[in-house]
Chain A
Amino acid sequence: MIFTVACGGNDDGSGSGDTETTDGGSGNEGPTTEAPTTEPEGDPVAGGTLRYGIEADVDGLNPTSSALSAPGLFMANMVFDTLAAVDTEGNAVPYLAESFTPSADFKSWTIKVREGIKFHDGTDLTADALIKAFELERTDPLVGLAVKPYYPETGAVERIDDFTVKYNLLEPNMFFPHAITGQLGYIPSPTWVDAALADPTLNQKPIGTGPFKYDSRSQDSVTKFVRNEEYWNGTVWLDAVEFYPVTDPDTRVELLLNGELEGMQTTDPAQFVTLREDPSIVNTFDDTAEESFVMINSSKAPFDDIRARKALTLATPRQKYNELFGLGENRLADQMFTAESPYYNPDVKQEADDPDAAVALATEYCGEFPENCTDGKINMEFQWSGPAVVQTRIADLFDEAWSVAFNVTRQEIQQDLHIQETALGAYNVVTWRQFGADDPWADNVWLMCRNVGGLALNWPRYCDEDRDALLLQAINTDDPAERASLYQQVVQNINEAYTYIFLQHTIWGNPMKDTVRGVCNRTTPEGVALKCYSNGRAWFNTAWMG
């Protein structure tokens, strides 16, 4: 399960990342807009420190208690291995696990881990480590939100033997291994997670089985990992990897171009041209991941009425948004999939840019609910996370366009509070960024009825039993055509609910200096080539400096 997902619609790329999602399922082989250039020839050499710029720092690096966002997952990729990994075809293949075997009904999966693997603290990787990680994640008030709804209250994990664990699910899932390619797939040292419960400062000093060991960390400045000499899956070439949180995207690019970083992540299209112009930079761009959109809370007036949601949708200046903030780089999004995806529904178009129709709908709504209107316009609140210049400009743009049919109250709040209020349903309209898991199954947590609650990952708090049925059916078939058709129906269902106004596909860029090589040489011990960039992060198991 990948815990990705993003929040706040941070198209400026700064300070994103806070939430999480689980996922699992089959391959979504959305192509990258610009394929990574082929690695230069040459034999790897040991040594060197790779310095990498990330969007923001994280509160902690404990996969069982920290909600890991793109920067957090990137750093976790150094210290931890996942039970399964996504190969270049988009399938989940065994990694830390030796095998995974489903039951006949696909309601339970038996995972056997490889023997002889040691954590950085010298303890052995066993079934107990898997169980400990799972239980801690399930009971964590935040991380658990994405786990609990999919497993029985008791008996979710069973210890079969020293190296084997059985996971029991609520529903059949043919794509379960995808659930263990992300945050839930990281296996931390049980000794360490126990110690971290007593001493919270240990959350900053992760211990896993991964290619690099934690070395040192100065929050908001630098986190350093050093080579794990006893790595179980091949030679690790780099002496060390250092992560530098640089919240300002311009500074991040400056540092890269000035040779103070070897690589960085960004979603800011304003940087792409500069990055392309430098011949020493190898760019990787991928827009198959998240979409940015306007999100509407359907549980509260006025947007509990579909006419109000539709009015907002029609009043939204989607084209202009794309021009101003996509800068010709980002593609307009009509749905959660890009056109290349097998699940893409070509008939579903995102409505927008029709203010006259919006006014008509608003007038109709106000005739019926005058208490939610003033001067014939619907009263609403628009909330976004700040302070950030780009976010304010987005708010200005929407505010102005929506004001034909709405009285917009603007509310700028700090990102954590923004996410909290969104999770609690204490909002009308927000800008947001999510979806685009390696397998669409992982995006179920945003969409299903069971994820509406006190604290909800189904942020719009929109429940449709038919949609749930489609989503469950899609994980209970391995026929690609049937699956595609099911997701296309989901896409249409989402479109007709008017809870998301899709704006554009986010592009994740992972520019690196051409001296960094071998990033995409990562394989399983069996030699299966693995996907090397995903949602703005990468792995450096096989990277070397030339």
Chain B
Amino acid sequence: MRFWLQRVAMAVLLLLSVSALTFGAMNILGDPLFNILGPVAGDVNNPDSVKLIEKAKSEFDLDEPLVVRYGLWLSDFVRGDMGVQFSSDGQPPVSDLIKERLPRTATLVLLAQLMAIAIAIPWALATASRAGRLSDRISTMNTFFLVAMPNFALAIILKFVLSIKLGWMPLTYVANDPLSSRLWQMVLPALTIALPVAAVFQRLLRTDLITTLQQDFILMARAKGLSRRRVLFRHALRPSLFSFITVVGLNTGALIGGSIVVETIFRIPGIGSSLVESVLREDFPVVLAIVMIVAVAFVLINLLVDILYSIIDPRVRR
């Protein structure tokens, strides 16, 4: 119990630091007034413009000191009010944007994570049981290739081969297509993110599997007459999953990073592409909201990893 309390306290502290740093950075780097009003913000000799400037300042507390604004933002944020999009026409609420776009990115990342795991596990099992042989060495070359390849290049190759040449996959995402089509349109983008991640997962799991396969209980399992498959899946896999699961958790960040590039290439209007756009526009309520969502997701996933540990290994149960 105390362990979990500590974990939660750490998570809260982490989220506070992330938000404070982001809030500070965005305010130092950009002028929120410029975001809200556009060129008018600089038009200080025109009384009409000045009126607009004053109105915006009071409406968004821009005259308050940074710390006070952070406090105001934080108290709004924890109550679910993420502020407004400064740089959009009419300043609509950030939550509109998030509600519209988060499900797309969440689907993409989740799909990519599932694919990465679904690819990595059988791949690692296949290569670990043939460690050192030709097929394993070819697979090692493939993993280095995938890991070294930038996401955008992989996206373009996959798109060229699977969509353009073979015509198996749709080229882009269309937000108002029916759900089943949209999921299908997500497959290629998710695969683009998943492949390099799967390669990393596979390397790691393969190494751990090789170690596990040298354990006495594997020989024991073989001596029972269990098939190679069953030995791998039922006996070798689970005890080899520790570092794998840790990395799956930690890699969520990389996955979200990958989604930024991939969302742009496959025209998925998700929070990844919004993040890039809002950083460039210095639209900090949007940046903050997205950064916080990603941070919360990261913390939750790693909490989940801790829970998974105890499910996988009875020895660490408390």
Contact = CB atoms under 8 A, between A and B. Distances in A.
Let me know if chains A and B touch directly in the complex, using CB atoms closer than 8 Å: yes
Interface of A: 59-60, 62, 65-66, 141-142, 196, 200-201, 203, 216, 218-222, 224, 244-248, 251, 254-255, 258, 260, 414, 416-417, 419-420, 423-424, 426, 453-455
B313 interface: no
B269 A221 contact: yes
A372 B45 CA distance: 27
Given A221-B173, A254-B171, A416 B43 contact: no
Interface string B19-39: 000000000000000100111
A164 B174 CA distance: 43
A267 to B, nearest CB: 20
Nearest to B93: A201
A244 B100 CA distance: 17
B91 interface: yes
A508 B173 CA distance: 26
21 contacts: A141-B38, A141-B43, A142-B38, A142-B40, A200-B90, A201-B90, A219-B100, A220-B269, A221-B175, A222-B176, A254-B164, A255-B171, A258-B164, A260-B170, A260-B171, A414-B280, A417-B281, A417-B282, A454-B42, A454-B43, A454-B49
A441 B280 CA distance: 35
Contacts of B173: 221
A416 B87 contact: yes
Given A141-B49, A423-B39, 14 more contacts: A62-B89, A66-B89, A200-B89, A203-B90, A218-B175, A245-B267, A247-B264, A248-B265, A258-B167, A260-B170, A419-B39, A424-B39, A454-B43, A454-B45
Contacts of A221: 173-176, 267-269
A424 B42 CA distance: 7
A383 B175 CA distance: 35
* Interface-central residue, B44, B176, B281, B282, by most chain A CB under 10 Å: B176
Nearest to A246: B267
A316 to B, nearest CB: 27
Nearest to A413: B280
A245 B175 CA distance: 12
B39 A255 contact: no
A455 B174 contact: no
A201 B93 CA distance: 9
Contacts of B273: 220
B58 interface: no
A203 B91 CA distance: 11
Nearest to B173: A221
* Interface-central residue, A142, A218, A246, by most chain B CB under 10 Å: A218
Given A200-B89, A200-B90, A141 B269 contact: no
Kindly list the 6 A-B residue pairs having the minimum CB-CB distance in the complex, ordered from nearest. A200-B90, A218-B175, A221-B175, A220-B269, A60-B89, A454-B43
Interface of B: 34, 37-46, 48-49, 52, 87-92, 96, 100, 163-164, 167, 170-176, 264-265, 267-269, 273, 280-282
Nearest to B273: A220
Contact of A218 (B49, B164, B176): B176
B267 A416 contact: no
Nearest to A217: B176
Contacts of A196: 90
Contacts of B176: 216, 218, 221-222, 224
B42 A203 contact: no
A417 B44 CA distance: 17
Given A141-B49, A222-B176, A420 B38 contact: yes
A59 B88 CA distance: 6
A258 B171 contact: yes
Contacts of A455: 39-40, 42-43, 46, 49
A220 B167 CA distance: 24
A257 to B, nearest CB: 9
Contacts of A66: 89
A60 B38 CA distance: 15
A207 to B, nearest CB: 16
B317 to A, nearest CB: 47
A219 B45 contact: no
Given A66-B89, A455-B39, A251 B45 contact: no
A426 B44 CA distance: 14
* Interface-central residue, A203, A420, A426, by most chain B CB under 10 Å: A420
Contacts of B49: 141, 454-455
Nearest to A201: B92
B172 A251 contact: yes
Contacts of A200: 88-92
Contact of A60 (B37, B90, B269): B90
Contacts of B172: 244, 246, 251, 255, 260
A258 B39 CA distance: 41
B45 to A, nearest CB: 5
A261 B164 CA distance: 14
Nearest to B52: A141
A219 B42 contact: no
A476 to B, nearest CB: 30
Contact of B281 (A62, A203, A218, A416): A416
A420 B269 contact: no
B85 to A, nearest CB: 10
Contacts of A419: 39
Nearest to A141: B40
A219 B171 contact: no
A154 to B, nearest CB: 15
B271 to A, nearest CB: 12
A453 B48 CA distance: 13
Contacts of B44: 454
Contacts of B282: 414, 417
A453 B163 CA distance: 52
Given A220-B269, A455-B40, A203 B174 contact: no
Contacts of B267: 220-221, 244-246, 251
Nearest to B89: A60
A378 to B, nearest CB: 26
Contacts of B41: 420
A419 to B, nearest CB: 7
A219 B280 contact: no
B37 A141 contact: yes
A420 B39 contact: yes
B174 A420 contact: no
A254 B170 CA distance: 12
A247 B280 CA distance: 16
Nearest to B90: A200
